[in-house]
């Protein structure tokens, strides 16, 4: 037959609105978009009553693979992605080994391609003087962008990130000084890629945490007092100055606060090349939910106040926030038990983010076209993968997320397809669900059932 796949009778996203059209796929690419019937295909999907979106992308995923695969592995994270309507993910670089050299990048590509249920790109990790000279080669080898964990120490032997730093530890390199950080900005600049930062000031956090420990406090308010909005805003403010001076495109990861939002908005108005993401847990949870959810909602940076959540929604409305992603960072149920300050930060989010955002559409908080922008078009433009990804256009990859805006369900941790079942939305009712995930013309998930696994491939930016 002439066509690999035909998706017929759907409402297809096109330039910010939806049109009735049929899509025909050949060799994994979109070959025709038309209201005509161009004949039969090897696979046909009747999308009557459904919205056909360009494949949704999750740009912020920690699959724990290799090394900590008892928490999660790439097969399960990408299975959960496909079940949740995600057709491509960006895997974060703080793995073991970290994606800080071309050799490690190539090793990770081989490892992950054997387990991938959706397409994937890889971040590169910035370690300052340890690998500034490697960033150009990493760029040429195909990393999608670069990430810097501002304020984290580095293990001297393994070069892995150290999340708990005590001054004078002989095994660790102290968090980088400002001059060393600025050199990272200058090293990334020639690549043309985004430099994304985890924006928390380690010196402020250390000082505040000492005070809280002396007071003997361990409740959720104490967690917020140890990592207040000042911690995020101070780092964002300095990063903006570094980006302005160096000309390096800056991306703020998992934005949480009104203070940070205001700085980013003003920087954008001033012409600084800066983009920002936030995550569903910051949009649908506040500090008030801790009494109900407990440790499962502990993430870094922490979920803050209603005023911060309101500011994030305003940032989505006015375009300050350019993307939504999960920051999927699983831990076991056992690891999340215990004192709040002792349990690790992170939870599952890759499978629930699309239903949560679609429910928000049904509640009138944003439009379905906004979801496409935040989770497909904008990320594709920011990370130089458009129009390969993020578009329904002739020649683009045939990646589609099919959505039923009338379908309802109750979110349940037991229904997650990740290894981990730690999530903050157990029992929440949502309306609007992904019902089909198609990757390069192959149906991976249909109506909640896995149809074809291991379809994912590594991809590079276009430039």
Q: Is residue 452 part of a domain?
A: no
Return all residues near 166 (Cβ < 8 A) that are at least 6 apart. Answer: none
Model confidence at 164: pLDDT above 90: no
Give the chain's radius of gyration (CA, Å).
21
Residue 435 lies in a domain: no
**CATH code of the domain in which 253 resides:** 3.20.20.140
**Domain span at residue 331?**
55-387
The per-residue pLDDT for range 189-247, each reduced to its tens digit, is: 999 999 999 999 989 998 999 999 999 999 999 999 999 999 999 999 999 999 999 99
Q: Domain for residue 447, yes or no?
A: no
- Convert the pLDDT of each residue in 36-91 to its tens digit: 999 999 999 999 999 999 999 999 999 999 989 999 999 999 999 999 999 999 99
98: Cβ contacts below 8 Å, ≥ 6 apart: 104, 125, 127, 159, 160, 161
Percent of the chain with pLDDT over 70: 100
Looking at the structure of the chain, the number of domains it has is 1
pTM: 0.97
Q: How far apart are CA 53 and CA 451, in angstroms?
A: 19
Q: What is the mean pLDDT of the chain?
A: 96
| CA distances from residue 255 to 65, 218, 320 in whole angstroms, order as listed | 25, 24, 11
- Does 97 sit behind a cis peptide bond, omega within 30 degrees of 0 on the bond before it? yes
The edge-to-edge listing of strands for the beta sheet with 172-173 is 161-162, 153-155, 172-173
Residue 438 lies in a domain: no
Kind of pairing between the strands at 124-125 and 146-149: parallel
Cα gap 283→301, rounded to integer Å: 13
pLDDT exceeds 80 at position 165: no
Asked if residue 45 is part of any domain, the answer here is no
Lowest mean pLDDT among 34-38, 171-175, 396-400, 432-436: 171-175
Residue 277 confidence (pLDDT) above 90: yes
- Taking alpha carbons only, the member of 90, 91, 16, 5 closest to residue 56 is 90
* Residue 44 resides in a domain: no
Q: Is the pLDDT of residue 166 over 80?
A: no
| Domain annotation covers residue 42 | no
Decide if pLDDT at 376 tops 80.
yes
Residue 415 in domain: no
Helices (H) and strands (E) in the chain, counts: 14, 21
The pLDDT-based confidence of 167 (bands split at 50, 70, 90) is confident
Between strands 86-91 and 56-61, the pairing is parallel
């Amino acid at each position: 037959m002439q066509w690999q796949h035909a998706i017929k009778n759907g409402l297809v996203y096109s330039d910010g609105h939806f049109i009735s059209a049929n899509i025909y796929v050949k060799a994994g690419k979109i070959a025709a978009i038309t209201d005509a019937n161009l004949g039969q295909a090897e696979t046909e999907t009747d999308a009557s009553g459904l919205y056909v979106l360009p494949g949704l992308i999750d740009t912020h995923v920690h699959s724990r693979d290799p090394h900590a695969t008892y928490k999660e592995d790439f097969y399960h994270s990408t299975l959960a992605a496909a079940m949740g309507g995600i057709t491509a993910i960006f895997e974060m670089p703080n793995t073991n080994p970290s994606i800080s050299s071309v050799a490690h990048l190539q090793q990770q590509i081989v490892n992950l391609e054997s387990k991938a249920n959706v397409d994937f790109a890889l971040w590169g990790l910035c370690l300052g003087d340890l690998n500034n000279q490697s960033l150009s080669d990493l760029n040429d080898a195909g990393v999608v962008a670069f990430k810097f964990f501002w304020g984290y120490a580095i293990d001297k032997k393994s070069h892995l990130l150290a999340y708990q730093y005590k001054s004078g530890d002989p095994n660790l390199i102290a968090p980088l000084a400002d001059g060393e950080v600025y050199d990272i900005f200058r090293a990334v600049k020639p690549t043309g890629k985004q430099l994304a930062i985890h924006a928390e000031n380690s010196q402020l956090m250390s000082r505040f945490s000492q005070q809280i420990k002396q007071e003997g406090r361990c409740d959720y308010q104490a967690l917020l007092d140890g990592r207040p909005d000042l911690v995020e805003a101070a780092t964002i403010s300095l990063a903006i100055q570094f980006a302005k001076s160096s000309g390096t495109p800056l991306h703020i990861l998992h934005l949480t606060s009104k203070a940070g939002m205001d700085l980013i908005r003003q920087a954008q108005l001033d012409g600084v090349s800066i983009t920002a993401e936030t995550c569903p847990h910051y949009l649908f949870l506040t500090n008030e939910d801790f009494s109900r959810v407990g440790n499962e909602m502990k993430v870094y940076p922490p979920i803050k106040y209603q005023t911060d959540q309101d500011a994030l929604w305003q940032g989505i409305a006015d375009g300050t926030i350019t993307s939504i992603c999960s920051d999927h960072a699983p831990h076991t149920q056992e690891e999340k038990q215990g004192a709040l300050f002792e349990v690790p930060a992170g939870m599952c989010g890759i499978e629930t983010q699309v239903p949560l955002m679609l429910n928000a559409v049904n509640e009138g908080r944003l439009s379905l076209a906004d979801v496409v922008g935040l989770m497909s078009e904008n990320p594709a433009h920011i990370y130089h993968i458009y129009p390969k990804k993020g578009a329904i256009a002739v020649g683009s990859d045939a990646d589609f997320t099919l959505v039923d805006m009338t379908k309802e369900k109750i979110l349940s941790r037991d229904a997650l397809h990740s290894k981990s079942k730690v999530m903050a939305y157990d029992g929440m009712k949502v309306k609007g669900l992904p019902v089909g995930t198609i990757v390069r013309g192959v149906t991976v998930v249909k109506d909640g059932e896995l149809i074809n696994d291991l379809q994912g491939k590594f991809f590079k930016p276009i430039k």
